[in-house]
Amino acid sequence: MDNRIIKERSSVSEAKEKFLGAITPLERTDMIAIDEGVGRVLATGILAPRNVPHYRRSAMDGYAVRSADILGASPTNPVMLQVCDEVDESTCSQVSTGACVPDAADAVLMEEDTICIGDMIEVRAQVHPGKNIGDIGEDVRQNEIIFYKGHLLRACDIAVLASLGIRKIKVYSRPLVAIIPTGNDLIPLEDSSEVPPPGKTLDINSLMIGLYSTQWSALPRYCAIVPEDRELIRKAITDNMDADLIVISGGTSVGERDYVPDVVASMGRKLVHGVGLSPGKPTALGTIGDIPVLCMPGYPAAGLVALFAFGKAAILKKGNIPQIPDITVKARLTGKINSREGYVSYARVILEGNTARPLMTAGAGILSSIAKSNGFVIIPENVEGYEEGNEVDVVLIE
Amino acid sequence: MDNRIIKERSSVSEAKEKFLGAITPLERTDMIAIDEGVGRVLATGILAPRNVPHYRRSAMDGYAVRSADILGASPTNPVMLQVCDEVDESTCSQVSTGACVPDAADAVLMEEDTICIGDMIEVRAQVHPGKNIGDIGEDVRQNEIIFYKGHLLRACDIAVLASLGIRKIKVYSRPLVAIIPTGNDLIPLEDSSEVPPPGKTLDINSLMIGLYSTQWSALPRYCAIVPEDRELIRKAITDNMDADLIVISGGTSVGERDYVPDVVASMGRKLVHGVGLSPGKPTALGTIGDIPVLCMPGYPAAGLVALFAFGKAAILKKGNIPQIPDITVKARLTGKINSREGYVSYARVILEGNTARPLMTAGAGILSSIAKSNGFVIIPENVEGYEEGNEVDVVLIE
């Protein structure tokens, strides 16, 4: 090994651009029932199959009238109308909100502007033609584009689809994310109600990657742990060439047996190995065929940062899912945060009211710092750090 | 009916305070597997059952050494060590990242500071005692509180629990939300592949409320449509007294047959009827026994606003779920937004890059405005509106 230190170091933005540039959004689609649609992305535009309302709809509880009949009506000059089933000269009919307004009426008079006297009403206000009537198609016109292709469906959108009589929709499939853990020291979670033997580590990264993939609308496939062996790593990748994204955890730092980025390079294209990301420097990014491959450091905290910095955007792009801004809160630092020059640093902080307390953590392996922190202060590469008392943006850890 | 206009009008903040004040968080719990835990809330604090690491862990690929043996080593003054299985005077043993450091060693020397010559290494740097060794319990100490009761679990927390050998956790149960649609004009969604007859409206609110309840970690129960009849409304409520929250949609404005708030008052306590919320004024809030009852306007857009303004906070409080800030983006208005004095107004806007275009919508019933808008500009009651060009906060509609 003559090149044991990762010499290359791409900036986070450059690495992300290269990686996302190599990702083609999925074209595969699913036909699903609308009530399964929250968080899914429309693969076709949706035209309104009908008008809403599809009849002249009363916007008020009151009386359907001919406005000409009550022209000039006021409290001092009331007009009497007969309440009937049909509307005609000097007759009106009672309508409730949402009801169909009879054809002969051209306005709805609010109940509040009337006094009921037997089967008559005393009308104490005039109305303009069209008043309190929702016209046919006023809300949605037939054949109007109601949602565009690529729209991320919210619960309220599902209600809109339901109201148009749409029951099934074509959405993009969820990307399949193959998760391959590597490492001779790893043991699977299921084998481990006991304390693992010294030198052995539970594979918690697979579960973490899988749960975040699910959260980001992908389908995780958990693969068996692969020992640090070129051929076995190659085989594990080959077995997952039906996936839409491959995430390999571990084996990215340049130790004697850290073969993953080399194997990716030999099977496809290594785009980046070594990123100005702290923690997370040994991240490697590549493609094999048209499958993007994210090689994450095995250390959980570094892996998590790499997953947030690259994995999330990759999954969203692959799944045609629009980027949603991170939830960010402003807070005042209760201590100094240092960062590494040339690195985008993810400093873990604990939010307490309007303050953010930096966690003093040494390395990338500090698991408890994830549990304790609720946010990251992300320090750009050209900033040296932040002083105590600085106001910073804290990105909540989702 | 001598009191047909809702005369009372609580402010949104006062109404919310009254309503939330009447809500007791659930004490019911579920025992679940950790991989089902994302988004759930811990009902007990969690103590670390063991140290992490539970052995002295190497933080580097390199050699376990006795630091005294290589004191003063440098490129110009290298020290030779024999590589063995055990560490003793002038011997070292190879360790990879995460491996167990032999007891006799007090430091790990980075591979990069050595040159391998047969079964010897030439050491070109000295190390301090303890260097590159993660001590037992350094990350997590046995019996340390790792998560407090009430913690909302994220995917990374599940990984932390897994690493501690925890497989099952006690979390608060999801609140059961009974959804009762009322209205003589309503027809159920399932009956309606055809266009509903004039005057009839599809019950889309139940689905909307149910999907948002699910999104906010509750369990929806969809109830049958209840006609506008006091006894039937009372019966529907009685049938759902096992629920944790009752949401009644429709029948809140003061028309002849809008009995819902009266029935709630007769069965329990009406806290608020009429809120300075636009759209959403006819909202009523109450309790029956210890069950909070949200009576939403039946008009979808008004119902949606009432659900966001009151329903979400109620569900989160009932479910012991910490409030998470809304996702908000700054944008410049491309048009004026008017608001109603004394009302908190939810103006729907379309975000286009850094601008927000107000939707010109007449009433609360305008369904398409929900589909088209991606955010609300929430105008406080003491603000008259915003001018074109104003920078405003847009709350994304989730």
Which of A156, A187, A257 to probe by mutation at the B interface, max B CB count within 10 Å?
A: A156
Task: Give me the pLDDT at residue B303, please.
Answer: 93
Task: Give me the pLDDT at residue B113, please.
Answer: 92
Task: Give me the pLDDT at residue B158, please.
Answer: 95
In order along its 398 residues, chain B shows pLDDT tens digits of: 333 456 678 999 999 999 999 999 999 999 999 999 999 999 999 999 998 888 898 888 899 999 999 999 999 999 999 999 989 888 999 998 778 999 999 999 998 899 999 999 999 999 999 999 988 988 888 999 999 999 999 999 999 999 899 999 999 999 999 999 998 888 999 876 678 888 888 899 999 999 999 999 999 999 999 998 999 999 999 999 999 999 999 876 655 567 899 999 999 999 999 999 998 999 999 999 999 999 999 888 899 999 999 999 999 999 999 988 888 899 999 999 988 889 999 999 999 989 999 987 655 456 778 888 989 999 999 998 999 999 999 999 99
Task: Give me the pLDDT at residue A222, please.
Answer: 98
Positive/negative CA dihedral, B351, B352, B358, B363: negative
Decide if B225 contacts B187 (C-beta within 8 A).
yes
Helix, strand, coil share (%) of chain B residues, nearest 5: 20, 30, 45
Task: Give me the pLDDT at residue A196, please.
Answer: 86
Both tokens of residue B397?
């509609």
Helix, strand, coil share (%) of chain A residues, nearest 5: 20, 30, 45
Rounded-to-integer distance, Cα A99 and Cα A132, Å? 11
Q: Consecutive 10-residue runs of chain A (398 residues): their mean pLDDT?
A: 58 97 98 97 95 87 94 94 91 88 95 92 95 88 94 95 93 98 90 77 94 97 95 97 97 69 96 93 96 93 94 98 88 92 92 90 64 91 93 94
Within 8 A of B298 by CB-CB distance, chain A residues are 97-98
Rounded-to-integer distance, Cα B247 and Cα B229, Å? 17
Which of B191, B368, B395 to probe by mutation at the A interface, max A CB count within 10 Å?
A: B368
pLDDT, one tens digit per residue, over A137-148 is 888 889 999 999
Q: DSSP character for B271? A: E
Contact B304 A156 (CB under 8 A): yes
What is the number of alpha carbons within 13 Å of residue A26 lying toward its C-beta? 28
Both tokens of residue B33?
């597997």
Rounded-to-integer distance, Cα B172 and Cα B152, Å? 10
Q: DSSP character for B273? A: E
Task: Give me the pLDDT at residue A362, please.
Answer: 55
Contact A204 B329 (CB under 8 A): no
What is the number of alpha carbons within 13 Å of residue B229 lying toward its C-beta? 9
Within 8 A of A204 by CB-CB distance, chain B residues are 159-160, 162-163
Positive/negative CA dihedral, A160, A161, A167, A170: negative
Task: Give me the pLDDT at residue B181, please.
Answer: 97
Which of B95, B136, B154, B184 to probe by mutation at the A interface, max A CB count within 10 Å?
A: B154
Q: What's the alpha-carbon Rg for chain A, to the nearest Å?
A: 31
What is the number of alpha carbons within 13 Å of residue B25 lying toward its C-beta? 14
Tell me which residue of B82, B93, B89 sits closest to B117, measured CA to CA.
B82
Q: Could you give the ipTM of this predicted complex?
A: 0.89
B385 to chain A, closest Cα gap in Å: 24
Within 8 A of A35 by CB-CB distance, chain B residues are 207, 211
Within 8 A of A370 by CB-CB distance, chain B residues are 156-157, 159-160
Q: Which residues of B266-303 are buried (b: 16+ CB within 10 A; e: fewer)?
A: ebbebbbbbbbbbbbbbbbbbbbeebbbbbbbbbbbbb
pLDDT, one tens digit per residue, over A38-82 is 999 999 999 999 888 888 988 888 999 999 999 999 999 999 999
What structural domains and CATH numbers belong to chain A?
12-27+174-318 (3.40.980.10), 32-50+140-172 (3.90.105.10), 57-134 (2.170.190.11), 328-396 (2.40.340.10)
Task: Give me the pLDDT at residue A3, please.
Answer: 38
Question: Where do runs of H (alpha helix) occur along A289-380?
Answer: 300-306, 312-318, 368-372
Q: What's the alpha-carbon Rg for chain B, to the nearest Å?
A: 31
Task: Give me the pLDDT at residue B253, please.
Answer: 62
0.95 surpassed by pTM: no
Q: Are strands B391-396 and B328-333 parallel, antiparallel or unpaired?
A: antiparallel
